[in-house]
Homo-oligomer: A and B are copies of this chain.
Amino acid sequence: MPQLNADLAGFSRDIGMHNLAPLWERTRRMQPCTPCEPALWRYADTRPLLARATSLITTRDAERRVLVLENPALRGSFQITQSLFAGLQIILPGEIAPSHRHTPNALRFIIEGEGAYTAVDGERTPMAPGDFVVTPNWTWHDHGNLGTAPVVWLDGLDTPFAQLFGAVFRENHPQESQPVTRAAGDAAARYGANLLPLDYHAGHTHGRSPLLRYPYARTRESLEQLAKSAAPHPVHGVKPRYVNPATGGHAFPTMAAFMQWLPRGFDGRGYRCTDGAVYCVVEGRGAIHVGDERLEFAAHDCFVIPPWRAHRFTAHADCDCVLFSFSDRWEQESLGFWRETPD
């Protein structure tokens, strides 16, 4: 940046009145940077707070009883990274989170409890721990708990993209619960069995996965098989991505979601990539090393790794780890912004 003399300073003031700013005064040159910081939310801390929330506010009053995971460096923004929203939602037996739709895409990753469902497109999808459930852009959705215990899941949304675009839209459904028009399991049979309906055209779907639910039983079976049949990747262990079965793309046009297996004792290599990622621990114990920080994690903990921050994974010696994660990698890749490097 040039030495600023009095004339330049005066000039800057003058042009300011015309809604103009001098590029040469930008405080820093372009460089990869983000305000957001790594952070971990222990389930041991968040679970009791979720319980307390249930005694203070109903799902009906809250519309969605969600504790937002806010990046410590982005307080007040409702953001966990600059491009992602994450929150922990709890719903009690008998409660209903009323039906609405919005332009941000939403994912659910089930942490605890049986018996809840997410209704999308007239189908009620049961949710069990470890399941990955998608609620694409502008689809009516409501949640209910038909079970006998509270159900907790991680919500992930791409709200910051919709905000960046000025394209946040939202509507309430006339009914609290949308009518059930499709049998449970219909989407799984239609799209999840390596088959597609004769007349299905992915071209009209903007890359949204028609498969509402990726059941953990099947995902885990696949991870175990892969862990047996090949050596783990030095950085990632075994890490497949969830697929839109109608395109081979990711589960959402914006967000990519992943499941990751770290064999017991895994001591991962350092790595950085431009997509900041939100993790939820499914099984096992381990640590994520970010710079000098070492964040110990256990089942149900959530953590965030900022973009372009060097990090590496280790798994406890006596248990395999399973980690769910999501990020904006898909969008970065398709736009040509995504980078990775060993570190």
- Chain A interface (Cβ within 8 Å of chain B)? 2, 7-8, 11, 14-16, 18-24, 26, 29-34, 36, 39, 41, 45-46, 49, 52-53, 56-57, 61-72, 75-76, 78, 81-83, 87-88, 102-104, 137-138, 159-170, 182-183, 185-186, 188-190, 192-198, 202-203, 206-208, 211, 214, 218-219, 221-223, 225-226, 228-230, 233, 236, 239-248, 253-254, 258-259, 274-276, 306-308, 328, 331-332, 334-339
Contact A274 B167 (CB under 8 A): yes
Shortest beta-carbon distance from A224 to chain B in Å? 8
Q: A49-B18, A248-B246 are in contact. Are A236 and B31 (CB under 8 A)?
A: no
Q: A206-B335, A239-B198 are in contact. Are A20 and B67 (CB under 8 A)?
A: yes
Contact A195 B31 (CB under 8 A): no
Contact A228 B183 (CB under 8 A): yes
The 6 closest A-B pairs by CB, nearest first: A166-B307, A206-B336, A189-B225, A30-B170, A34-B166, A23-B66
Q: A21-B70, A197-B240 are in contact. Are A253 and B168 (CB under 8 A)?
A: no
Contact B102 A30 (CB under 8 A): yes
Contact A20 B2 (CB under 8 A): no
Q: Which of A45, A75, A81, A168 has the most CB of B within 10 A?
A: A168
Give the chain B neighbours of A226 by CB distance below 8 A. 186, 189-190
Contact B206 A334 (CB under 8 A): yes
Q: How far is the CA of A308 from the CA of B18 in the complex (A)?
A: 24
Give the chain B neighbours of A167 by CB distance below 8 A. 32, 274, 307-308, 332, 337-339
Contact A11 B52 (CB under 8 A): yes
Contact A308 B195 (CB under 8 A): no
